């Protein structure tokens, strides 16, 4: 459905506000900004780091502790170059590239609509040619003797080549999963939409190895489970949907694929893919390495290549999804309604007046006690109203105010970010209160 010009302008305006908030509040800003910025590369500031770490921690816990038969892995970024021949990336991991003959800017050919002219200056475009998205680097003391390597474009291949060693050392039987969070790199022709498409990013991938006869069952299971997880983070149901890949969209390895898409201000985009990869990966690595990666145990008559159900999400994309979904303008305030599990600060502690030493002392005492268990802030800048709104804007779920009554009876007011309602809580019960709420 095509948006009206008014709706499109509103969405563009919302995205600009989110980007501005991220930079102003220390969530995300462009890399090397002092030198004019590095294209499609971003740094995560103090709040962004906390949000990303919370996200990765929740994902890893969900996939390893809360599901049976899944273990973790941290594979190296640099791998033997034949890995990428076996995986098909050297041959197939390409985009159609065109270049403007006038301004020399490059574009993906499949993103050029209408007449085949430059969308920037109107100049003529070259014929499309294949452009491999992998970054090449070298290993060796001199350029002449160095071995060509690639920065990995995905984390999955490390899981596949380590499958047998992990399975045997962890003493697991299929169905089993291997989960990993890690960096990947893609030489994108046309990166953009803030942190949605960048050249350096993090992935959260789980590869589920199962008997071929059970692949369809497990595909439906993981498709349902992954959607449930996004809803558990507080994402609005109407902003999520599934997109099934048609035959012309399927990757060379995929038998079946669905994307979980989110409705960003710039449109519906993929945030996670669920793929039935069949036996492509293990059979290919067996062929190229000479090592048999088939699986066997007493339940089966013959060794076989497990089918792989892949769940692959982008950390940066999901972080942007959470920020987009949480961004809210209410009356005279901007509030990030982040799920408390994801929010960087869990609480902020305020002395009612910064010039009253006893109030400040008690606020610092509460801060010191809570920070051992929660990431909390101590804020005594400006008036109390401005402090509330400042914390609302960065998504802090609770604000704790130390006032004169606190000195008398050891209680504080706790304000809820979303409802703005306040309640009186004993200082001794604050930890338990936050544990129940977060």
Tens digits of residue pLDDT in 21-49: 999 999 999 999 889 888 789 999 999 99
Distance of CA 358 to CAs 170, 208, 386, 431, Å? 56, 57, 22, 22
Whole-number pLDDT of residue 144: 61
Averaged pLDDT for residues 396-412: 97
Q: With 90 as the cut, is the pLDDT of residue 112 above it?
A: no
Q: With 60 as the cut, is the pLDDT of residue 6 above it?
A: no
DSSP-derived 3-state class of residue 433: helix
Whole-number pLDDT of residue 145: 60
pLDDT cut 70: percent of the chain above it: 94
Whole-number pLDDT of residue 2: 52
Q: With 60 as the cut, is the pLDDT of residue 1 above it?
A: no
The Cα–Cα gap between 304 and 289 comes to: 17
Query: Cα angle at 54 between 53 and 57, to 5 degrees?
Result: 80
> Could you write out the DSSP letters of every residue in 27-48?
SEEETTGGGT--TT-EEE-HHH
> Could you write out the DSSP letters of every residue in 183-222?
EEE---SS-BTTTTB-SEEEEEEEEEEE-GGGHHHHHHHH
Whole-number pLDDT of residue 102: 77
Averaged pLDDT for residues 207-221: 98
Q: Report pLDDT digits (tens) over 145-170.
A: 667 899 999 999 999 999 999 999 99
The Cα–Cα gap between 162 and 73 comes to: 9
pLDDT cut 90: percent of the chain above it: 76
Closest CA to 15 of 406, 321, 421: 321
SS3 content of the chain, % helix, strand, coil (to 5): 35, 30, 35
Whole-number pLDDT of residue 10: 73
Residue 421's pLDDT band (boundaries 50, 70, 90)?
Answer: very high
For 320-388, the three-class secondary structure string (H helix, E strand, C coil) is HHHHHHHEEEECCEEEECCCCCCCCCCEEEEECCCCCHHHHHHHHHHHHHHCCCCCEEECCCCCHHHHH
Q: With 80 as the cut, is the pLDDT of residue 188 above it?
A: no
Question: Beta strands 136-139 and 147-150: pairing type?
Answer: antiparallel
> Quick one: how far is CA 115 from the chain centroid?
36
The Cα–Cα gap between 29 and 48 comes to: 10
Whole-number pLDDT of residue 4: 56
Higher per-residue confidence, 100 vs 45:
45
| CATH 3.50.50.60 holds for 5-92+134-325 | no
CA dihedral 87, 88, 90, 95 (to 10 degrees): -120
Distance of CA 235 to CAs 16, 42, 197, 227, 264, Å? 20, 24, 20, 10, 12
Q: With 60 as the cut, is the pLDDT of residue 3 above it?
A: no
153 contacts 133 by C-beta, under 8 angstroms: yes
The CATH superfamily label for domain 345-437 reads: Anticodon-binding domain (3.40.50.800)
Q: Report pLDDT digits (tens) over 269-305.
A: 999 999 999 999 999 999 999 999 999 999 999 999 9
Whole-number pLDDT of residue 5: 59
> Could you write out the DSSP letters of every residue in 225-286?
HHHHHHHHTT--GGGEEEEEPPTTT--TT-SEEEEEEEEETTEEEEEEEEEE-TTHHHHHHH
Residue 11's pLDDT band (boundaries 50, 70, 90)?
Answer: confident
Q: Where are the domains of the chain?
A: 5-92+134-325, 94-132, 345-437
Residue 200's pLDDT band (boundaries 50, 70, 90)?
Answer: very high
């Amino acid at each position: 459905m095509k948006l009206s010009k008014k709706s499109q302008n509103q969405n563009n305006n919302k995205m600009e506000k989110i980007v501005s908030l991220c930079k102003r509040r220390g969530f995300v800003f462009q890399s090397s900004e002092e030198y004019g910025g590095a294209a499609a590369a971003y740094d995560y500031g103090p709040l962004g780091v906390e949000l990303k770490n919370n996200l990765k921690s929740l994902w890893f816990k969900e996939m390893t502790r809360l599901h049976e038969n899944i273990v973790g892995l941290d594979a190296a970024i640099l791998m033997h170059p034949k890995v990428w021949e076996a995986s098909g990336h050297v041959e197939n991991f390409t985009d159609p590239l065109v270049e403007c003959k006038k301004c020399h800017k490059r574009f993906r050919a499949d993103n050029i609509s209408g007449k085949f002219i430059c969308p920037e200056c109107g100049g003529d475009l070259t014929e499309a040619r294949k452009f491999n998205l992998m970054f090449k680097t070298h290993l060796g003391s001199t350029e002449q003797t160095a071995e060509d390597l690639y920065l990995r474009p995905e984390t999955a291949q490390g899981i596949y080549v380590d499958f047998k060693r992990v399975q045997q050392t962890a003493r697991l039987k299929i169905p089993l999963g291997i989960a990993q969070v890690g960096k990947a790199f893609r030489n994108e022709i046309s990166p953009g939409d803030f942190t949605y498409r960048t050249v350096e990013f993090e992935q959260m991938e789980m590869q589920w190895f199962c008997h071929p006869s059970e692949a369809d069952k497990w595909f439906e299971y993981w498709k349902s489970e992954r959607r449930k997880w996004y809803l558990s983070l507080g994402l609005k149901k109407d902003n999520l949907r599934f997109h099934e890949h048609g035959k012309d969209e399927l990757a060379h390895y995929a038998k079946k694929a669905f994307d979980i898409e989110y409705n960003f201000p710039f449109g519906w985009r993929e945030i996670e893919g669920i793929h039935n990869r069949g036996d492509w990966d293990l059979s290919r690595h067996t062929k190229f390495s000479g090592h048999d990666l088939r699986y066997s145990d007493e339940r089966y008559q013959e060794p076989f290549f497990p089918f792989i159900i892949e769940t692959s999400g982008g950390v940066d994309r999901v972080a942007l999804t959470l920020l987009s979904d949480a961004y809210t303008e209410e009356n005279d305030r901007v509030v990030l309604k982040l799920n408390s599990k994801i929010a960087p600060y869990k609480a902020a502690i305020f002395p009612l007046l910064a010039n009253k030493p006893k109030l400040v002392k008690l606020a610092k005492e509460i801060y010191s006690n809570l920070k051992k268990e929660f990431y909390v802030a101590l804020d005594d800048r400006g008036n109390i109203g401005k402090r509330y709104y400042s914390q609302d804007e960065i998504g802090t779920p609770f604000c704790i105010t130390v006032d004169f009554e606190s000195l008398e009876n050891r209680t504080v007011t706790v304000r809820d970010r979303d409802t703005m309602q306040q309640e009186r809580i004993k200082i001794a019960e604050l930890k338990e209160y936050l544990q129940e709420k977060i």
